[in-house]
Every structure is written in structure tokens, then in C-alpha cells.
Amino acid sequence: MTDSWEKELIVRAARYYYIRKKTQKEIADMLHVSRMRVIRLLEKAEQENVVQISIHNSFRERLETEQTLIEQYNLDDAFVVPSEETRNAISLNDSIAKAAAMYIDEHFSDNPIINVGYGDTTGRIMNYFSQISAKKPTYVSLTGGVSIYLLNTRFSVGNASLYLIPAPLVASTQEIVEAIKKETAVIEISRMHTTASCSIIGIGGVDDEATVIKSGIMQKNDLDFLKMQGAVGDVLAHFFDENGNFIETDMESHLITYPPSSLKKLNNVIAAAAGEQKCTAIRAALRARHFDILVTDEETAKWLIKNK
């Protein structure tokens, strides 16, 4: 049982630390005890309920949503953007991109190698990362389509290195695809993929706003045909059904993109995706665990939890 003087020291240490915002050294000097003693006093303050640390309801709900997502879908991590932030953002993609850039800046090394898939959101992530971070990343494209990456990125190359697969995303023949894969530059970039700290991918939908349509990669009738085959979304231009199973199409043999069978071999695959039109696609990719970490918004996260 803690004696009265010990109790007094615990209360005083807690008051100085949590209310007056004193450092542990300052508290040690004020109480004429060692810094190690202050650490133990603060630990006891929590153990004996002298101090009760709580998280505001609005934050707690979002953190609980993240944890539920992680548990339900066996993720390594999740980052859920507050609804008010997405409502006030220029666009949902913009808000998700900012969040993903902050997540990467917080979790990975000073000079990270980052694999990047094509898409509007991933381009925005690179732009925001250059604005918020002092780190010097090396970006490595996961697909062909040089113009896609250059159009979607406006960051200063002085702050980053960018390695692009020198090829289109879709080639006219399978023979051209095989020839491109044998090029030295392409082989060297492929080797970089497995050394990356993380990989950023988007989850594409199958609506008229899909990136593959807006960027001219596919025609609407091609997408409609894929939908007839059960496609609900794509990752790196590989289309999958509602359970995340990849659909074999003639287009696959014309793609210059990271193979779907090897996605799980990459380190820390981060999917940045949100929105009502993408919910089914994100759920399908989650079911097949095509990625390890999800960055999304509250409304999408709650739908995914409710409709697992």
C-alpha cells in the first residue's frame, strides 16, 4: 500500500507533467528526486488511476474503425481519414492522397524506395509527399505508360528520383511485350521492385470515371465486356471479380505491368482508395489481400465493415 507521502509525490509528479507540461528532469529538480524516480512515479499515477488518459470520442471512434478493418480483413495497418476532412477537400482523391503521403512520411526511412502504380491518386500522393516531407524518395514505376506518370506528377525532381519503365502500359502484340521485358533497363527496374520499402497502388473501379477509361488505356466497350465477365475493379490494370480473383483476358498478354501473382511478394503494399463507386472493388481486393495497408475515408471504411 502506497504511503501518504508517496501518494503526494505521485500526485505532484502527475500534476507537473500532465497539467503544467514540465519535463521529467524539471520535475526531478522540483521534487528533489532522481529522474528515474519521476518515471516510476508517473507509471504509478496511471496504475493507481491518479491519471486517467482518454481519447476524445470523435478520435476514438475513428481509431476503433481502423482496428476493426485490420481485424476483419487481416490487414497490417489502416489509416482512416475523418469525414470532415474529405468533405472539405477539393476532391476525395485529394484528401486520400494527402493522408497516404503523411502515412508514408511517418512510417518509412529517410530515403525510401517507393514502388508506384499508375493513377490519379498515386500521382497526387507523390506530389503531396514532395510538399510535406524533407525526405528524398526514389520512385519506381510498377507499370509501363511513361506519359501517365509524367502527367500525374508535378513534384520537383530535385527532391526525388524517378525510374520509369521505358514502355507503354499496353503493347500491340505479345511479342513486343516479351521483347520489352528483356531490355536491360526494364530488367534493372524490375530488380528494384523487390527492394522497395513500400508500394503505392490505387484500386480502380469499373464505372465511366475509371482511370483506364479517362486515360485512354481502354475503350468503354472493352470495360463493359470485362464487367460481363464479372470484373468489379482492377489493380495495376489486372481486373478481378468480387472475391478478388484475377480474370484472364486477352489484354493480359499485352500488358507491361507488375504480375498479379507477385503482388504479395512486395513489401508493405499500400492501397489508397475511397468512394462509393469503388467500395465493391476495394472489398474484393481486401478479400484476396492484394495489399497490406489501406488508406481510405470514414464512409468507405464503415461500408467495408458492414458489408464484409
Q: Which of the four pLDDT bands, split at 50, 70 and 90, describes residue 258? A: very high
Check if the beta carbon of residue 132 is closer than 8 Å to that of residue 108: no
- The predicted structure's pLDDT at residue 8: 77
Cα distance between residue 196 and residue 190, in whole Å: 11
Closest CA to 286 of 67, 73, 71: 73
Write down the pLDDT at residue 134: 86
pLDDT of the residue at 211: 78
Q: What's the distance, CA 226 to chain centroid?
A: 27
> Distance between CA 244 and CA 74 in Å, rounded?
15
Encode pLDDT of 36-73 as tens digits: 899 999 999 888 888 877 666 667 788 889 999 999 99
Q: What is the pLDDT of residue 216?
A: 76
Question: Quick one: angle between helices 57-73 and 298-306, nearest 10?
Answer: 50
Question: Band of the pLDDT at 185, cuts 50, 70, 90?
Answer: very high
Query: Hey, is 163 helix, strand or coil?
Result: strand
Residues of the chain with pLDDT > 90: what percent?
51
Closest C-alpha among 303, 302, 245, 235 to residue 269: 235
pLDDT over threshold 60, residue 89: no
Q: How confident is the model at residue 1 (pLDDT cuts 50, 70, 90)?
A: very low
- First vs last Cα of the chain: how many Å apart? 49
Q: Which grid coordinates are listed for 50?
A: 491518479
Q: Does residue 261 or residue 271 have the better pLDDT?
A: 271
CB burial readout 191-208, b (16+ within 10 A) else e: eebeebbbbbbbbbbbee
- What is the pTM for the complete model shown? 0.81
147 pLDDT more than 80: no
Structure confidence by residue, pLDDT tens digits, 190-229: 999 999 999 999 999 898 777 778 777 788 888 888 999 9
Which is higher by pLDDT, 275 or 56? 275
**According to the model, what pLDDT value does residue 119 have?**
86
Query: Greatest CA span in the chain, whole angstroms?
Result: 84
272 versus 49: the higher-pLDDT residue is: 272
pLDDT value for 235: 95
Taking all residues of the chain, what is their mean pLDDT, rounded to a whole number? 88
pLDDT for 56 equals 62
Residue 145 has pLDDT above 50, yes or no: yes
Residue 31 confidence class, pLDDT cut points 50, 70, 90: confident
Q: Measured between alpha carbons, how far is 72 from 49 in angstroms, rounded to an integer?
A: 32
Q: Is the per-residue pLDDT at 285 higher than 60? A: yes
Question: What pLDDT score was predicted for residue 21?
Answer: 86
Beta partners for 233? Answer: 240
